[in-house]
A and B are shown apart, each in its own frame.
Chain A
Amino acid sequence: MTYTLGKNQLDSIENVLKKDLIDLGVQCVFLIDMAGNIIADLHQAEIIHDIYSLAALAAGNFGAVNAMAKIIGENEFSLLFHKGKNENIHFSKVSQDFLLITIFGNHISLGFLRLKVNEVIEKVKNTIEPS
């Protein structure tokens, strides 16, 4: 089983991510599926991360935390966020199959980022459902 995303869809997604998150000052944003595949990834010019490992780990992490939620009787957690000294990482479910991961510094408040991410998800959701 496979799914495909065309150039227009991906352009549209990347546009939204750039305008609403990268231009805000977010260090890195990537959209992945729950298998760990990378749909789109954008970052500030000077940032180079091992994006493939990050994606695999993010999918695994989200999956693990989701499984924990079910065990304790929750459908899912509304906030999955890891706070670092300088950089932080935020996970947000786009749909059943996709995740948006944002890496951002302390100059952006989490509360504000969550607002932006929710907006981005609304914009991206309809573009992204696999055929």
Chain B
Amino acid sequence: MAFINQKNKEVQVKIVYYGPGRGGKTTNLEYVYKKFNHRIKTEMVTIKTQGDRTLFFDFLPFNIGKIKGYDVKIQLYTVPGQVKYNATRALVLRGVDGIVFVADAMTVRKEKNILSLNNLYENLEFYKKDIKQIPLVMQYNKMDLAEQGIPLLSFENLEQMLNSDIKAPAFKASALKGINVVQTMKKIIYMTFISLQKELE
């Protein structure tokens, strides 16, 4: 639920990176943080286990400057992907304005992607949100592993499996190498902002 502050002329927007465990959600944020820290100058919060797995959430806020006279503050969150952390995912999703679904392109992770997407659908339903109504971008991550000969699902395969109904914009990406990470983020910010535009007029 984006908040428009008419006193400070500010808009706060919440974007959540969702997806199966170890799929690259945190890596997306870490890449953005590393690459643009000198410009965005805010800190990233991570709450993770000793095994480097997101325990609660990661959080990266930044200001993208003035749009239509409003200072737009973007808040990127990731959720913990492991199945057992569903309660946490649900509470991080609260008030979400835009979602990036980070799917794991590895063939062995096919099932996990589907389970995670279904889980997203259920959690959104709890908040009376329709997955087809909310700004959403698909990211098919780990495409760089093809170089190492690891079996990956094809773009078409992933589209058919995950996106045939939702029909969201989709990117092939490598969060580790930073390929299409920024493009994914820009796309979701753009889509989210467009959906709020009417409120700002």
Contacts and interface: CB of A to CB of B under 8 A. Distances in A.
Nearest to B63: A52
Interface in A93-121: 97
Dominant SS among interface residues on chain A: mixed
Q: How large is the interface on B (under 10, 10 to 19, 20 to 34, 35 or more residues)?
A: 20 to 34
Nearest to B14: A35
Interface in B175-191: none
B3 interface: yes
B115 interface: no
A33 B95 contact: yes
B2 A2 contact: yes
Given A34-B94, A56-B59, A60-B92, A5 B45 contact: no
Interface in A35-61: 35-39, 50, 52-53, 56-57, 59-60
Contact of B45 (A10, A39, A53, A130): A53
Contacts of A38: 12
Nearest to A51: B61
A6 interface: yes
A10 B5 contact: yes
A5 B2 CA distance: 11
Q: How large is the interface on A (under 10, 10 to 19, 20 to 34, 35 or more residues)?
A: 20 to 34
A11 B6 CA distance: 11
Contacts of A5: 3-7
A7 B91 contact: no
Contacts of B3: 2-5, 33, 35, 37, 39
Given A4-B3, A6-B7, 17 more contacts: A3-B3, A10-B6, A34-B94, A34-B95, A35-B95, A35-B96, A36-B77, A36-B95, A37-B12, A53-B43, A56-B57, A56-B59, A56-B77, A59-B94, A60-B57, A60-B92, A97-B1
Interface of A: 1-7, 10-11, 33-39, 50, 52-53, 56-57, 59-60, 63-64, 67, 97, 130
